[in-house]
Amino acid sequence: MALDEEIPTEEDDKTKPKFRQIDKRAGHMIQQWNAMLQEEFRSMSDNGRQKIGTKRERDIGEDEEEGDPKPASKKAKAKATKTSMSQGLEGVDVNGIKELVENDKLGKYTIADLKAWLRGKGLSEVGKKKELVERVEEWVENH
């Protein structure tokens, strides 16, 4: 308006997809892909006539009998392996800690183990796991 030029009525938006060009170039491929996916879905649903989302019966293991309760959950097993690994952190000497730092193995220990180790060295045990690991690494650099 300041230069006596007309104001454009519609701006050309470069972010809008050009559907006609897309359909012209790849429309037939998209339709073929859609047909293949539908055929694959039909063949999967026809095989065995399985319902989606149904539970299968639990297999009975060698150590179990039919009347036994369910085995321990995965969380309990994972917790057991973590505690067995973490018991050794407090007993690890300086060279062992240096080796753990060099091989980036400190992250495998639990937060409680890292805090206990830091507490034993008289260092602050506040923060997230990453910060605790960094504090241990810093201690190793200084000693």
Give the separation between CA 115 and CA 110, rounded to whole angstroms: 9
pLDDT of residue 36: 94
Nearest to 107 by CA among 71, 134, 138, 73: 134
106, pLDDT greater than 70: yes
119 CB neighbour count, 10 Å cutoff? 12
pLDDT of residue 37: 93
Interior CA angle at 103 toward 102 and 106, to 5°? 95
As a whole number of angstroms, the distance between CA 121 and CA 89 comes to 13
The pTM for the full model equals: 0.41
Dist CA 108 CA 79 (whole Å): 12
pLDDT in tens, 8-44: 677 777 888 888 888 888 989 999 999 999 999 888 8
Instruction: Lowest mean pLDDT of 15-24, 66-75, 94-103, 104-113, name the range.
Output: 66-75
Question: How is the chain split into domains, by residue range?
Answer: 19-48, 81-142
More confident: 51 or 126: 126
